[in-house]
């Protein structure tokens, strides 16, 4: 039996222009998509249905496909149709709407015609587009072409639009509603829209961890029997790097000094990663053990400008704490492999991919003993209370002083990481699809 899946790729479009490392949600969306596309029992169709008007979704998706040649290996769905056979014209007009000039046009509307031919042209284009939307363009979405619609994150399209096709949504965590003080207000508002789009009696949910499943169901009242777990994995390119020259060259590229270093990695250096606690414990360790020659390296894009905040809180850290900023994917394995230990004292995780990446590189892990992290790390790392300074300081000291413990955690962590793979995640997802379509 081949299951026909409409797989929403809004997540990919949303971060297409980011030059720094993509979010975890982007990674999950892409990795699952890649694995599903390899399978003979799945007919995967990429589509943009979620988080927007169907017309603009179709145009944005069309524009995206032109800039992503690797997607030619995928089946895509065209839902925008033209009664007058003007479909190509829409693709010509849409980029104009994305231009800076067009975005600023409303500011000048009262005097637009007096500002020259360019603004007159933009106004004319908007008028033409509005006319075409009303009388020519239409959306053609045939429910008979699909067995299931899967949104890897964004809110589900309306039930009227999906016409009774089973709908599945991936919930990565419920951070915006359980710790809203650490999330931007706009994200809180949108996450509530995501939750509101789920019909508890008709829809289905997949989570990355058992912890997230239980918390989601308790918070929303979603039936446990309509909610599933598909654990994530580290990307294939993560591996132990044993070439000392490669590690040294990579360290030099990112300004990491010679000698030992502790490492913490996050897509974005955001507050819930608990970095102030980590730095405070690291500096305490240095004050108690002044002969230690070790640095703390923090990897992640600086979207939060968090390093500047920390520098104000800890002015003494400048010579011992290194903020690398964004690190390219091809360099991460060397950065992980060169570390004495990977430390992840996060206050909340829906899964915790960086811990798995570190273990896949053979790096000893110290992580929080809360939320989903114990599911990922198991007994292959040191788990500590993310608010306990004594516990974290002791864990760091143990790894600096006990070479046998380091060897043991390297072996156990690498072995545990082999239990997680994207092909297994895809297989788990297909099992969910089968249960839904056979319901």
For 152-177, the pLDDT digits (tens) are: 999 999 999 899 999 999 999 999 99
Q: Is the pLDDT of residue 110 over 70?
A: no
Query: Are 3-79+140-229 and 244-419 the same fold in CATH?
Result: yes
Count of other CB atoms within 10 angstroms of residue 113: 12
pLDDT tens track for 214-271: 999 999 999 999 999 999 999 989 999 999 999 999 999 999 999 999 999 875 557 7
Assess contact for 425 and 32: CB atoms under 8 A. yes
Tokens linked to 242: 């044993």
Nearest to 409 by CA among 375, 384, 380: 380
User: In sequence order, what DSSP letters do the residues of 199-229 get, joined into one string?
Assistant: -TTT-EEEESSHHHHHHHHHHH---GGGEEE
Tokens linked to 151: 């949104």
Q: Output the CA torsion 30→31→32→35 (10° steps).
A: 120
Tokens linked to 335: 């950065």
Q: Is the pLDDT of residue 99 over 70?
A: no
- Tell which CATH classification among 3.40.50.9100, 3.30.930.10, 3.30.1490.20, 3.40.50.2000 matches the domain 3-79+140-229: 3.40.50.2000
Which span out of 89-103, 265-279, 321-335, 343-357 was modeled with the highest average pLDDT? 343-357
If you search the block for the tokens 């092909």, which residue do you land on? 423
Domain boundaries, the chain: 3-79+140-229, 89-138, 244-419
Q: How many CA atoms lie within 13 A of 395 on its CB side?
A: 27
Assess contact for 173 and 211: CB atoms under 8 A. no
What's the confidence (pLDDT) of residue 192? 95
CATH 3.40.50.2000 corresponds to the domain 244-419: yes
Q: Is the pLDDT of residue 285 over 90?
A: yes
Q: Is the pLDDT of residue 11 over 50?
A: yes
What's the confidence (pLDDT) of residue 19? 59
- The pTM assigned to this predicted structure is 0.89
What's the confidence (pLDDT) of residue 112? 45
Assess contact for 272 and 391: CB atoms under 8 A. no
Q: Is the pLDDT of residue 50 over 60?
A: yes
Dist CA 87 CA 51 (whole Å): 22
Q: Say whether 105 sits in a helix, a strand or coil.
A: helix
Q: Checking phi first, is residue 217 left (phi over 0); if not, alpha (psi -120 to 50) or beta? A: alpha
Strand 382-384 versus strand 137-139 pairing type: unpaired
């Amino acid at each position: 039996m081949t299951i026909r899946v409409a797989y929403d790729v809004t997540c990919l479009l949303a971060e297409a222009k980011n030059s720094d490392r993509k979010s975890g949600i982007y990674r999950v969306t892409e990795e699952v998509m890649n694995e599903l596309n390899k399978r003979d029992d799945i007919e995967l169709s990429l589509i943009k249905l979620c988080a927007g008007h169907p017309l603009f979704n179709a145009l944005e998706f069309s524009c995206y496909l032109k800039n992503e040649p690797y997607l030619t290996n995928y089946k895509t769905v065209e839902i925008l149709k033209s009664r007058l056979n003007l479909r190509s014209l829409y693709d010509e007009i849409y980029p104009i709407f994305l231009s800076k000039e067009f975005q600023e046009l409303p500011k000048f509307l009262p005097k637009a015609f007096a500002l020259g031919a360019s603004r007159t042209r933009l106004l004319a284009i908007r008028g033409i587009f509005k006319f075409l939307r009303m009388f020519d363009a239409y959306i053609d979405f045939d429910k008979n072409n699909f067995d299931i619609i899967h949104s890897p994150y964004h809110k589900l399209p309306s039930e009227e639009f999906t016409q009774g096709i089973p709908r599945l949504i991936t919930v990565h965590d419920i951070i915006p509603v359980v710790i809203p003080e650490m999330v931007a207000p706009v994200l809180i508002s949108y996450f509530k829209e995501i939750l509101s789009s789920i019909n508890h009696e008709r829809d289905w949910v997949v989570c990355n961890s058992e912890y997230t499943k239980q918390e989601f169901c308790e918070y929303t009242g979603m039936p446990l029997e309509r909610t599933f777990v598909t654990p994530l994995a580290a990307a294939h390119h993560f591996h132990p790097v044993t070439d000392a020259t490669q590690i040294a060259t990579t360290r030099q590229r990112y300004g990491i000094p010679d000698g030992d270093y502790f490492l913490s990695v996050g897509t974005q250096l955001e507050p819930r990663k608990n970095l102030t606690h980590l730095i405070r414990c690291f500096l305490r360790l240095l004050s108690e053990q002044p002969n230690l020659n070790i640095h703390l390296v923090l990897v992640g894009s600086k979207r939060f400008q968090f390093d500047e905040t920390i520098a104000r809180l800890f002015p003494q850290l400048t010579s011992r704490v290194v903020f690398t900023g964004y690190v390219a994917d091809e360099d991460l394995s060397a950065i992980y492999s060169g570390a004495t230990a990977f430390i992840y004292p996060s206050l909340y995780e829906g899964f915790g991919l960086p811990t798995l990446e570190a273990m896949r590189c053979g790096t000893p892990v110290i992580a929080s003993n809360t939320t989903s992290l114990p599911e990922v790390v198991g007994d292959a790392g040191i788990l500590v209370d993310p608010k306990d300074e004594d516990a974290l300081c002791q864990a760091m000291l143990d790894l600096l002083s006990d070479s046998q413990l380091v060897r043991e955690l390297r072996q156990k962590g690498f072995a545990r990481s082999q239990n997680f793979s994207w092909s297994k995640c895809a297989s788990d997802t297909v099992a969910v699809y089968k249960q839904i379509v056979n319901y």
